[in-house]
Structure 1
């Protein structure tokens, strides 16, 4: 048993070292350190964390933060991007705390452990800012988000374009991790935009307890032969990707339109 424990400990140690080397190499790449070791120096190191780190939406956010950070001598690192394995949001924020970064920018997912980790970061002197989704019961310093009403109006305008093509049955995927008030505001705003246009707008709550559960909910909507959905509105990047894949898998391309995040 002692030998087995020792082997497991050594294996775990090698695994941690390999992950650390991968993260270090990734950081050097973003800092501009190549073979000739030409690199920039920064006063501060901030971590940008999201479960959708490699999604196009977050690519755009990261590029903006990175460029602005350079002006302020801040290096913004996208924790969790380009890693050999996928890590949970909890593990990503733990990595950022272990790095002893100067600040954390995170999109919370509603999990209670994330609230605890935000508080832990604050207690060790790392300020945390939440974006898109808030965690008001945590010790986060501030929240930067999108106005839910305006977001619904934008979705509504895109739906109107699809309605002009003759499609009348709309289903909105509501993410269970989002606040009830935020979901209701987006949904109400969408309904306001399409009022009087003789369309049916319904909503489906997507279970976000796990990636599998959310994918299953979305696939059930798309494959249901009794469902008359012609336009599927996705409010998150993850739901958008799942919906696109399911439409292909169930041969609904051209039959069902997707308005993505």
Structure 2
């Protein structure tokens, strides 16, 4: 097993420098830090677990969690994972600060600054897909505050890793389900949360790319946004169905499923085939009532707990996560396997 002394000899630096890099103590030249991290990775360096626990307790780490708060009940399940992991990490004198934010770059930016002012050492974030948020993540990284994204991701940023579903693949899966659950010409209305949330847009992209390539009988008539809000979803879905009476299928890529389905029922459209995401209680009930055909689940508690564990391990040991993308399973639920 590799030791700090061996890493120091190969890097041509002192053991103190290696210790500062692996344990995030003090400032080290970025090129030297990168070299030490790479040598540690190649040697498969693993710190002593007992020593790591003791070091973590002495550090009194403070981690932040910032998730969307738009009335989407899915995040209640994510928070369960956060709470479970926070209770485990409390044994190591690790504090977890929890905050929520709306679908807004300015609101999220303000929440990020507030968490930074509270002295967080690392952050778990559902990012609003905006260049201003990417720049803030980069600044956090430059200041030694690693960020792991969960549930949705943000491109062109220096976030450390991502935990969540493969959105594009989920969209492709939804297209395959739509083909299996419809007959003949199919006219689809898409109801999404926000065009500024990557998981929502990539689910649409995967869906549309797959039907364009394989299922010419399926066509998308329109896409509307509901901000993950049940009331907004009801009103906008009702208007969509009035505008396009030929719609015979709906694809929900985010929250607002209950409100949108209520609108379909209010319009007397029991014939519409509906595919959604997540197994929240209201969606499960609509599946049992044969209103929704299928839902695609994404292991919400894992999205709450795993990012915190990855952050804690990184800040305790200095070692990078083993991979950049930690994809959750594509889990399809129908009435028979709820």
TM norm structure 1: 0.59
1:102 aligns with 2:121: yes
- Secondary structure at the aligned position of 2:115 is classed as helix
How far 1:231 moved relative to its partner? 1.9
1:231 pairs, out of 240, 249, 258, with 249
Alignment partner, residue 221 of structure 1: 240
Structure 1: give runs of 5+ residues left out of the alignment.
1-41
Whole-angstrom CA distance in 2 between matches of 1:128 and 1:231: 38
The structure having more radius of gyration, on CA atoms, is: 2
Q: CA deviation at 1:228?
A: 1.3
Displacement, 1:104? 1.5
**For 1:50-199, what aligned pairs fall within 5 Å after superposition?**
50-52=67-69, 54-73=71-90, 74-80=94-100, 88-156=107-175, 158-159=177-178, 162-163=181-182, 168-173=186-191, 175-178=194-197, 183-189=204-210, 195=215, 199=217
Q: Equivalent residue for 2:220?
A: 202
RMSD of Structure 2 on Structure 1 (CA): 4.0
Give 1:158 deviation, angstroms. Answer: 4.6
Tell me if 1:259 matches 2:275: yes
Secondary structure at 1:50 match in 2: strand
Aligned length: 207
Q: 1:181 to 1:64 in 2, by over 3 A?
A: closer
Residue 117 of structure 1 and its aligned partner are, at CA, apart by 2.5
Greater shift, 171-180 or 118-127, is seen at 171-180
Shift of 1:139: 2.6
Deviation, structure 1 residue 234: 1.5
Number of the residue aligned with 2:8: none
The answer to whether the Cα contact below 8 Å between 2:126 and 2:151 also exists between their aligned partners in 1 is: yes
C-alpha deviation, 1:177, in angstroms: 2.4
**Which residue number in structure 2 is paired with residue 15 of structure 1?**
none
The alignment partner of 1:72 has SS state of helix
TM-score, normalised by the number of residues in structure 2: 0.48
Aligned in 2, Cα 1:54/1:71: closer, same or farther, shift over 3 Å? Answer: farther
Task: Output the CA distance in 1 between the equivalents of 2:185 and 2:69.
Answer: 30
> Equivalent residue of 2:188, what SS?
strand
